Each structure stands twice: as C-alpha cells, then as structure tokens.
Structure 1
Amino acid sequence: MVAAPPAALAANTAYVFAYFTETPNMTGANYGLHLAVSQDGLNWSPLNQNNPVVTPTAGTLGLRDPFILRKQDGTFVVLATDLNGTDFGQNNQYLHVWDSTNLTSFTGYRRIRMHGLNTHTWAPTAFWDAARGQYGIVYSANNGVDVFMVNYTSDFRTVSTNQVYFSPGFPVLDGDIVVDGATFYLYYKNLSTGLLYGARSTTGAPNSYTTYTSGLRQGNSMEAPLLVRNNEGNGWRLWGDSFSPVNNDFYAWSSSNVGSNSWTVLNQRTYTPPLNAKHGSIAGITSTEYNALVTRWGLPSWTRLKSSNFPDRYVRHANSIGRIDAYPMEPYQDQMWRMVPGLADPAGVSFESVNYPGRYLRHSNYAIRLDANDNTATFRADATFYRVAGLADAAWSSFRSYNVPDRYLRHANYLLRIDPLSASASATDRQDATFRVTP
C-alpha cells in the first residue's frame, strides 16, 4: 500500500506542462522531455529556452506523449512513449520512466515492459486507484482493434499483467484520466469520428466507463485530450492537440462542471500554448515548485507578439517585411524577438530578430521592415518604440513610434506599419495596434 499524501503538502498555485516539439517542416522537432510553466494555466513560458530538460538514453533514444503524475508521496513520476520521431510503424512494448522530486532533476531512468504483444505502447496516462492501493498505467495499444490497456503498479518499476481497460466497440486513442472525488473521468479520441469524448466511472475498474459527452473538436482534426482541474477548484479546462504538425496548435474549452457535458470553447486570445508543443500533459504545482523550476531551467530570452484580433497570428518577418502570420510557421524562429532597450531611448524598446541577430524591426516610409542596424541616428529612431497599455485591451500592449509619436505599430492586411491612432480611432484600428507580449 502506498502512503497517503502528507497532510502538510502545499496547495497547487501554478502549473507545469510536459511535451515534445514539432514544426511544419520538422525544423523544430525534438523528442526529449520539454517543460513549460504557467501561473494561470493558460499562458505558458517554455523552460530551458525550449530545449529538453532530459532525454532518453535507451530504447529509441526519443520520446513522445510525456505524462507527469504527482504520486501519493508528493513527488513526481514521468512516463512517455518510447518513440523517436514519426515512424508510427514501430511496435514497442516499453515506456520510458523517470522519478523526480520537484522536476528540477530526473533520476532512476528506466524502461518498463508493459506487454508482450506485437503492437505499440502509446500515450500513457496514470492515476491513483485508492481501492486497489496501486497506480493504474493506461496506454493505447492494439489487440485487433485500437483499445486502452492497463497495468497496475506500486513503484513504477514492476507492473501487473496487461489487460484491456477501455474498448467501447470502436477504435480509441490518447486517453487521459483524472480522478475527482469518487468519480473517474476518461477523455479520449474516437478514431472513427475524429472527435474527443468523455467517459466516467464510479470505480475506475477496467471496462467500467460510460461515455457521457457529445463529440468535441476545434480546427480540422484533433487528438490528445488533456483534462485539467483549475487550481482554484472552481472549474475545469480541456485541451486538445491538432492532429498534424502542419496544423500544430492546441485548442481549449472550459467548464464549471466536468460532469455536465457542457464545454465552452475558449477564445485563443485567452491562452498561449508553449512554442512548438505537441501532445503532453499538465500538472498542478506549488509556488515553491514553480520558483524552483524557473530558477533551475530559466525563462525564455525571447518574446513573441500575438495579435489581439487575430490571436492565431504572430508578428514575424518574411523576406525582410514585418507582418502577422498564422501559427505554426516556418522558419518558426521568424516570430521570435529579443525585446531590448530602445536603440534611440533605453526607456523604449526595440525588437531584434532571434534568427537574424543585429537586424531589427524599423519603419521606413511608415512600413515595417527587418533591417540591419547601421548605427545611424535615423535607424535607431526608426527602430525604437514606447510600450504602452494596449489601445484595445489595457492588459495587452501597444507600441508608439519614438520619432513619429502620433503613430503606432499596427497590422493592415496582415502587413505591419505605423499609422496615426487618435483617441477617436475605430475599435478595429485599436485592435490592429494591440498585441500580447508572450514567450
């Protein structure tokens, strides 16, 4: 029997996101364990400059679908699919496993064999089954049809014989299980319809779940549901990952009652997933753990600018022209900026390209370009802006030109320029000039 959590275990006030990365042309693909943190559970800051914090040293030497579980003793275990890249024809019987006290280091790396079938072992999730006094590890496999299998364990080293956990009569993929009081919730993808569904059980036992939600999807395709209870305890969020790296993004819903089959689509203005993130998991962490993660791994040295009225688009350069384009994009670094003290006035800001160091966004004939700093007074002035409260949303930001102070950075037909914006400017003009500064 695993001990109950210590009574003094602090309440969760922040979140950690585990994932791997891919981009449309795979230039940003990395199959190590990546972490991001958030204090609101919506807007995420990648750690370690979006590089992996640990990488498998056995098996395929890569991972997908990492899952973080806080164990009953308050520490963490990380499980992941043993798959390096996109060769889904591999049949691998193992999962990667690490232990961690607070996710600042990872110990005890091992692989555990889950079954002897000639099939895959994908997308693990895990939960504490109090009635058994063990953890259940659930994963996607195929025994003639795509099902969820389960093995039980007390130590994430030895596991019970695999058995079918959920096989509703149609193929399923990517289960995520959350235990809320006496109810077990299982969210999954129905491969026949391409939609996400929720099922529930009062015992969490194999083959005890009943689907209770309508099908959910945003975008063209979706997989990898992530069910998360808000730290405040007053609601839930459901995340879904778009199916392919070409449409690489996360979408989200919210609900005040996870059992009510009532999910509201969240506007993309309200959330920003980690850059290039793919299928992972989200766990609650304490303020102490949040601070330890930031101290150990560091926050990004770069920022992105998200459009207020086109929240799927970010400021980027393309052929030396400033514009906003839909995420994801290649080269993905085109949307990454070092926001440095203004070249003409350190009280302002300038935007230096990450992938073209020494080149900055500047206005020329009111159009925004990416040009090399020639260190002239004119260039420095053209490349300097004052960050002010967002003209459409004071919680966001707008950027006023240093040397043409009645003009603001804005987009028009997706191209960036500076235009005059007075107090009587239209709502659209104000939105065009409002951005979220985000990693």
Structure 2
Amino acid sequence: MFAWMTIPVFSQEKEIQNDPTSKTDGYVFSYFKGNGEDGLHLAYSEDGYKWTALKNDTSFLTPEVGKDKLMRDPSIIKGGDGLYHMVWTVSWTDKGIGYSSSKDLIHWSKQEFLPVMKKKKKARNTWAPEITYDPDSEKYMIYWASTIDGEFLETKPEKEKGYNHRIYYTVTRDFKKFSKTKLLYEPGFNVIDASIVQQDQGFVMFLKDETRNPVQKNIKIAFSKELKGPYSKASDAITGNYWAEGPTAIKIGNNWIVYFDKYIEKKYGAIKETPQGWVDISEQINFPPGTRHGSVIEVSGEEIAVLKKE
C-alpha cells in the first residue's frame, strides 16, 4: 500500500485537476426525484451549503431510453473536450445505461442506450453509472454496479432479492467506441455507488458498502495510482450511524466535502474533511426537498446566470 493511502483525510492532497481556463463561481448538483420518471433535475449553490433548485425544480431532460425509461442517479462531468457528459440508470433490470452530452447543461444531445453489460448473459442490472476523465490518457472511464448471478457467492445476501454487486467499467475516448467491459473493484463485499476523483498522487474511490448482515450501508474509500486500478482495500466507514448512498465529492476551499443520499431518512447529508478527520455537516446543508442520488460539478458564474433564466 502506498504511504499516502493511509491518510484518513485529504488535507495533504492538492485539488482535483480542472480546466485551467474555466472560472469557478459556484456549483451545480444533478439529481433525480421519485423513481426518476421525469428526468434530470438541477440545483445551484454559491457556497456548496445552500442549494436552490433551478427551473422551478422541473426536469431539464425527459428520459427516453432503456427498458423503463428512467433517469436515476444522473452523473455529470465536464470532459477534456469542454462538453458536459452525463450517464444515468435507465432501469432496475436493464443491461445498459443512458448517455447524453451538452454544451450548457440545458440543451442535450440525442439520448443513447449504452449496452455495457449485454455480453454478460447472467447480469441482472446496471446501476448508478459514473464517469471519470483521465487527462493523461485523454480517455473517459465509465463504471457502474452490477450483479451477475453465480458470481461472488460468498457474499450473496439472503435478503434484498439476492443482489450482490461489484463495480465494472469500460473506457472510451469519444463515446462511440468502448473497450470490453471488465471488473474494476472487488472489495470482498457487496458494493455499489462508486465515485472516483483524481488526486495528484492517484485516484480516490468513494463507494457504498451495501452489506446487509451485519449491516454496513455506509460510505468508504479506496485508493489507486491508476484510474483503472488496482484499488486498495476499502477503508473504515467515513459516514455515521445512518444508511447512506450515492456519494459525490468536491473540494471547496481547502476542504473536501462528500454529499450523499440519506435515503431512509429521505434527506441529503454531507461530511467535510478536517485535519482531525471527517466531520458530519448534514445539519449545515440545505437541498431541495426530494433530492435523490446525484453528482456535483464546478461551474462559472456565467453558466449559473444562464441556467437561472430557464
């Protein structure tokens, strides 16, 4: 294990690599409501604490692809090409995910269905996809959680319909050609909701330990020098005594903040890294009612101004 992997907080790390030509004046949070039937919702914030719904909390994009035509777990990043790229969960039981791109977060390209688990005959689902851009290779890694019947039986739960996830991935340069789907992370437990950010010394994966018995249902961290791994053993839980899922992280000022869905309590939570460790700041943040599993990005003041007009 690399020495830096043992650091429980990120206080000694540099910021995520961002486009040096863009100015960050605020943040946009992508999320879904209900079961994801109406599509993409967006909220903005100037400080990362108070979030205000955009477009009167109505959908910016109605889902059109997949078995159930849902838009759950929308994950958006700004790529090396200057475009915003989004992936999402289209169904509870499909073998693919949704994809679209945008220049302004308002007008989106034709939605596509990416059949990333099509060749895995016993795959049951494709949940919570995310994208991470690797500036060194100029490629994007798309990754998600899937259960493949008959695999990793030692951790198959008796409850929750026997779902027993691991994290899988594919790599693309242009979102037209994709590498063969492979296993990304096998931590020795049922794992979903991976979200990876880049550090100057490698990559950090936030993940949900989905173990039901003995109960975990919390957020942990793993590390790697390379985007495609191998990733370290998962850390101890960094969230508290509640069920949490859908982590998304961003550095605001000198501190990392991780937002997550307290889905049992039907509200959003957050933790902040400090020199003393992770501190729960859930009571200090405010999200639009009904916000579910989403992602956070940095944006310019000009972009926020345009979004406000919608």
If the TM-score is normalised by the length of the shorter chain, which range does it land in?
Answer: 0.7 to 0.9
| Correspondence for 2:7 | none
The AA in structure 2 aligned to 1:179 is: Q
| Correspondence for 1:294 | 308
Q: Secondary structure at the match of 1:108?
A: coil
Q: Secondary structure at the match of 1:214?
A: coil
The AA in structure 1 aligned to 2:295 is: S
Gaps of 5+ in 2: 1-16, 153-164
Normalised to the residue count of structure 2, the TM-score between the two structures is 0.82
Normalised to the residue count of structure 1, the TM-score between the two structures is 0.59
Among 266, 282, 293, the residue aligned to 2:281: 266
Q: Judge conservation of contact 1:148–1:172 (CA < 8 Å) in 2.
A: yes
Q: Judge conservation of contact 2:86–2:99 (CA < 8 Å) in 1.
A: yes
| Correspondence for 1:41 | 48
1:217 positional shift: 3.1
Q: Secondary structure at the match of 1:96?
A: strand
Q: Secondary structure at the match of 2:303?
A: helix
Q: Is 1:196 the counterpart of 2:216 in the alignment?
A: no
Q: Secondary structure at the match of 2:306?
A: helix
For residues 283 and 5 of structure 1, the distance between their equivalents in structure 2, rounded to whole angstroms, comes to 10
Identity of aligned residues (%): 23
Alignment of 1:3-402 (within 5 A): 9-22=21-34, 30-59=37-66, 60-83=68-91, 88=92, 90=93, 92-116=94-118, 117=120, 118-143=123-148, 144-145=151-152, 146-192=165-211, 193-206=216-229, 208-211=230-233, 213-218=235-240, 220-230=242-252, 232=253, 234-244=254-264, 247-256=265-274, 262-268=277-283, 270-295=284-309, 297=310
Q: Judge conservation of contact 1:50–1:275 (CA < 8 Å) in 2.
A: no
Q: Judge conservation of contact 1:187–1:196 (CA < 8 Å) in 2.
A: yes
Q: Secondary structure at the match of 1:111?
A: strand
Q: Judge conservation of contact 1:115–1:161 (CA < 8 Å) in 2.
A: no
Q: Judge conservation of contact 1:112–1:158 (CA < 8 Å) in 2.
A: no
1:371-408 Cα shifts (integer Å, max 9, x gaps): xxxxxxxxxxxxxxxxxxxxxxxxxxxxxxxxxxxxxx
Q: Judge conservation of contact 1:240–1:251 (CA < 8 Å) in 2.
A: yes
Higher strand fraction (1 or 2): 1
1:158-192 Cα shifts (integer Å, max 9, x gaps): 31110000001111010111112232010001112
Shift of the 6–34 alpha-carbon distance from structure 1 to 2, 3 Å rule, reads closer
Larger radius of gyration: 1
Gaps of 5+ in 1: 298-439
For residues 18 and 241 of structure 1, the distance between their equivalents in structure 2, rounded to whole angstroms, comes to 13
| Correspondence for 1:300 | none
1:107 positional shift: 1.6
Runs of 4+ in 1 over 4 A off after TM superposition: 4-7
How many residues align structurally?
272
1:212 positional shift: 5.9
Shift of the 102–174 alpha-carbon distance from structure 1 to 2, 3 Å rule, reads same
Q: Secondary structure at the match of 2:196?
A: strand
For residues 49 and 30 of structure 1, the distance between their equivalents in structure 2, rounded to whole angstroms, comes to 17
Structure of higher RCO (CA pairs closer than 8 Å, 6+ residues apart): 2
For residues 132 and 173 of structure 2, the distance between their equivalents in structure 1, rounded to whole angstroms, comes to 11
1:108 positional shift: 2.9
